Each structure stands twice: as C-alpha cells, then as structure tokens.
Amino acid sequence: MDISALQAFLAVADNASFSQAAERLFLTQPAVSKRIAVLEAELGTPLFDRIGRQVGLTEAGRALLPRARRIVDELEDSRRAIANLSGRVEGRLSFGTSHHIGLHRLPPLLRAYHQRYPQVALDIQFMDSEQACQAVLRGELELAVVTLPTMELPSLDAHTVWRDRLAVAVAAGHTLAGKNRPTLRDLAQWPAIMPAHGTYTREIVEAAFRREGLTPQVSMSTNYLETIKMLVSVGLGWSVLPQTMLDEQVTALRLPTLRLERQLGLVTHTDRSLSNAARAMQQLLFEEAGR
C-alpha cells in the first residue's frame, strides 16, 4: 500500500474535498484523484461517495480512516526519529500560527531562528488557532504558535509563551467612552464585534459575561483582530482587543472588576517525535517564555 496514496486519502477525508486536499498536499486535483483511484483499485472497493460536489466516506472508507492515520503517523514519526540521529538542524519545518501572533509576536523570533538555522525551510501556515490545534492533532503540522485552548485537549501539549492582556475598546465618540465606570451590564446593551463563535478568544469573553448572567449582543463576527479594531474605530460596536493593539484609533474602557487575559504559546502532539528543526523552534520559544 503506497504511503502517498494513504496521505491523499487522509487529506480528502479531512477536507471532504478533492480540491482542498490537493492544496494541502501541494498537488494538482487530478494527481490526488489518481492516487485515490489506485488505492481503491488495490482494496477493491470505493472509499468515497461522490454525489455532485459532495464527498463523503463510504463504509470501507470509514473503516480505513483510523488505520490509515496510524500508518502515516507511525511512518512520519519514524522518519523524524531517524533524521534526528544526524543532529543536523535542516529540512522543512511546517508550523501554524494565527495572523495576529504572526504579525505582532513572531517576527523577532523568526529572524533569530533564520539566522541560527539557515538550512531550515520554514513553511508557515496562517490559520485560526483552533484550526492549527486540529492540524497538529492530525499530524499535518509539527507545532503551532497560537492562542492556547481554554481547556485541556487530549494528545496536545500546550506551553504558555506570552500572557496577552485584553481590553474592552470602543471608538472615541462612542457613548460608552464617556460613561464613568461602565459595567458588563452596560456593555450588554450595545452591539459587539467579536471573533467567531467557538474561538478561544470569544470563549474567554463569553465566560466573563456568563458569570454575571449576561450575554453580549454580537452584531458582527470576524477572526481578524485588525479588522475588528477597524470596525470598532468607526463606531460600529465595542470589542475586546489585546492591549498591545491599543492606540489613538480606539478608547479602552476601564472596568475595575473585569480582568481578561488569554495565553499565547506553543502546541505540540504528545505522542509524536519532533524533528530537529521543530525542537530548535521549541527551544527558541521556551527561551522567549523565560524572559
């Protein structure tokens, strides 16, 4: 059974799409389809139902899925373990990060890493923190530098590198900006702009409201904090932003009883070996956390 065919099978199964699987594997869609066809011919049964644009696993595909994942994971882990014996820090390092961390936290670290290990080709994939954690779990990425989950996820190791204080922000001309000592109940009366439901940052905000028996009035959602800041600055609603993003475009509200903070850091899989390149990145992040 060809490993490349199994990798194509997993990519299609995870994305429910041949075109998205092709993008993930850096292949053409016909190349992915050919690998799936070879695997189906070898097993003597269809692995996917193709109904219009919908792609779903057949019963045989569902039976193969966990076995294929174990085979690919074991092989990739073996390759990394053997490559690590050389002691050289080289090759390709695929890792995920959020747009905010990639823009505001990682540049000095990436510069230092590239200077220390010029033989490593960095494959940086920008995505939501939640997606990056799932990609680490699936073995698509060696590590992720993201907003850490608000609760422990099985098979993931999470290490805090930065503590990111959050502030409630509004436009300078917003009614709340002129209110003395606003409360969460005051905020709940006005439209809010938040990251999408289910994101770690939104969970932190909603948990604070739930403790007071309240629900924020979310009028718009986007996962790009820079976009949220722009929407807040023009008066379309209030939001919660990292204190590092505050400037003259927005006004931070002082809520003495509210302290919001999220943890930013490193996520790796508990059961997979890291390549030397990934270990070097891990060490650099640990050095940053110790400062």
First to last CA, the chain: 48
What is the residue-wise DSSP string for 111-142?
HHHHHH-TTEEEEEEE--HHHHHHHHHHTS-S
Q: In this model, does residue 24 exceed pLDDT 90?
A: no
Burial state string for 242-261 with b = 16 or more CB within 10 A and e = fewer than 16: beebeeeebbebebeebebe
The dihedrals phi and psi of 76, each to the nearest 5 degrees, come to -65, -40
Q: Which pLDDT value is given to residue 122?
A: 94
Confidence of residue 257 (pLDDT cuts 50, 70, 90): confident
Confidence of residue 260 (pLDDT cuts 50, 70, 90): very high
Mean pLDDT to the nearest integer, 47-70: 90
The predicted model scores a pTM of 0.75
Q: Which pLDDT value is given to residue 46?
A: 94
The percent of residues in the chain predicted with pLDDT above 70, rounded, is 100
4 CA to centre of own chain: 25
Confidence of residue 86 (pLDDT cuts 50, 70, 90): confident
Mean pLDDT to the nearest integer, 99-115: 95
Q: In this model, does residue 61 exceed pLDDT 80?
A: yes
Contact 96, 130 (CB under 8 A): no
| Per-residue pLDDT reduced to its tens digit, 275-291 | 999 999 999 999 999 87
Other beta carbons within 10 angstroms of residue 25's beta carbon come to: 18
Range with the lowest mean pLDDT among 122-126, 129-133, 150-154, 212-216? 150-154
